[in-house]
A and B are shown apart, each in its own frame.
Chain A
Amino acid sequence: MTVNVTMKVNGQSVTAAIAASTLLVDFIREHLRLTGTHVGCNTAQCGACTVHVNGRAVKSCNLLAAQANGAEVTTIEGLAAADGTMHPMQAAFKEHHGLQCGFCTPGMVMSACELKGKLPNATDEQIREALDGNMCRCTGYQNIVKAVKAGLAA
């Protein structure tokens, strides 16, 4: 079955006819060619596929694209300014070496961005708890926590 979906992705309206079973992450990567959103586990565990749907961080591998019909979606590509200036959270990950291979990073950054305004003066413990849906196999998390703390304060 084909369904029509319309959503705003990174500020731009997109409309497409897709198979009803299309996952949001596949719509983003395969149809829109926005490959910054990664697929790590494809089983809703790792968080690499995290994007925002109407301002909320969600795992796009565990949602149908049709469930985001009519929504505003933000992916990692939507964070930097038009002139390429990084979003403060991206800049903080760079500054604090919050990444090594970078595979988890788009999801980490999108997940962390949702905390902006929600966790002012977050403690390390709160940040770790809040990032529970995002896994990193490289960094050991220390620098991710530092980066998120700085990004939230920026």
Chain B
Amino acid sequence: MQAIQLHQPASLADAAKLRSGNDDARFLAGGQSLLAAMKLGLNSATDLINLAALPDLAGIKVDGNRIVIGAMTRHADVAANADVKRLIPALAVLAGSIGDRQVRNVGTLGGSIANADPASDYPAAVVGLGATVRTNQREIAADAFFTGLYETALQNGEIITAVSFPVPEKAGYVKFKAPASRFALVGVFVSKGTGGVRVAVTGAAGSVFRAAGVEAALAGNWSAAAAKAVKLSADNLNSDLHATAEYRAHLIPVLASRAVTAAG
């Protein structure tokens, strides 16, 4: 790995300042994606800004009918949290399905969504629940957060502090794992709540997206059969060595129907 300068800011403001104006600087959360990319020569960062010492970035709070999860909260802690399991069990299931135990012990919610890997799990929950991403500057609605392949609405120097998830009436997440990496070949998050029905798909395209056809079907009839009956076009879906676009298009309604069943 390349030589680095490691910064240990004590406040969000200091962390943001270190990043602004330095294109070769990156925030370091768990490092599970960033260090791996640097070791492979895929990321040429020269300065890492460690968020680990910043106060109040990790933790899970129930706030009225929402669960607010700090950006530095690790996947294992979300998976094991009693409030998450009680109020949004699908989110606990999702967090517990990320990578493997060692990765879940280190990787964080903020790091995962900032990274916006097209096959990652959390984006499906953020969009599938209509969550709100909180940063040091503003609040960003889920639908506006993921903007493309590894791209988000975050500006240079903007730090995710937490994600606020509304508690749904029902929610379910099912992913078809790429067997070697455990990332989502396709993953579908379905929910029904005050904001209506939401169906978010990860792993199938350049970025997480809402499957409007499945949403319409489920809004009319919340049932596994209704989800499964939807036919989706393979246009704009990924084809790679793991699966063709047609296969992914086929999987989306199938997984959506299983997610509806899982939602109970």
- Which A residues fall within an 8 A CB radius of B? 1, 3, 19-21, 23, 42-44, 47, 50, 56-59, 62-64, 66-67, 111, 114, 130, 132-134
Contacts and interface: CB of A to CB of B under 8 A. Distances in A.
B206 interface: no
Interface in B45-104: 48, 50, 52, 76, 99-103
Interface stretch (B29-37, B111-119, B131-139, B151-159): B29-37
A47 B99 CA distance: 12
B5 interface: yes
B105 interface: yes
Chain A at the B interface: SS class: mixed
Contacts of B105: 56-58
B102 A47 contact: yes
B215 to A, nearest CB: 32
A21 B1 contact: yes
Contacts of A133: 99-103
A1 B6 contact: yes
Nearest to B180: A45
B6 A43 contact: no
A3 B28 CA distance: 16
A134 B40 CA distance: 20
Interface in B1-29: 1-6, 28
Contacts of A58: 102, 105-106
A1 B102 contact: no
Q: How large is the interface on B (under 10, 10 to 19, 20 to 34, 35 or more residues)?
A: 20 to 34
Q: Which are the 5 A-B pairs with shortest beta-carbon distances? A: A133-B100, A20-B6, A56-B105, A132-B100, A133-B102
Contacts of A19: 3
Contacts of A130: 101
B170 interface: no
A142 B131 CA distance: 43
A1 B35 contact: no
Contact of A132 (B4, B40, B101): B101
B76 A56 contact: yes
B182 interface: yes
Contacts of A111: 101-102
13 contacts: A3-B6, A19-B3, A20-B4, A20-B6, A20-B48, A21-B1, A57-B101, A58-B106, A59-B102, A62-B39, A64-B31, A66-B50, A111-B102
Contacts of A62: 31-32, 35-36, 39, 106
A3 B5 CA distance: 9
Given A43-B39, A132-B182, A134-B100, 9 more contacts: A1-B5, A19-B3, A21-B1, A21-B4, A56-B106, A58-B106, A66-B50, A130-B101, A133-B99
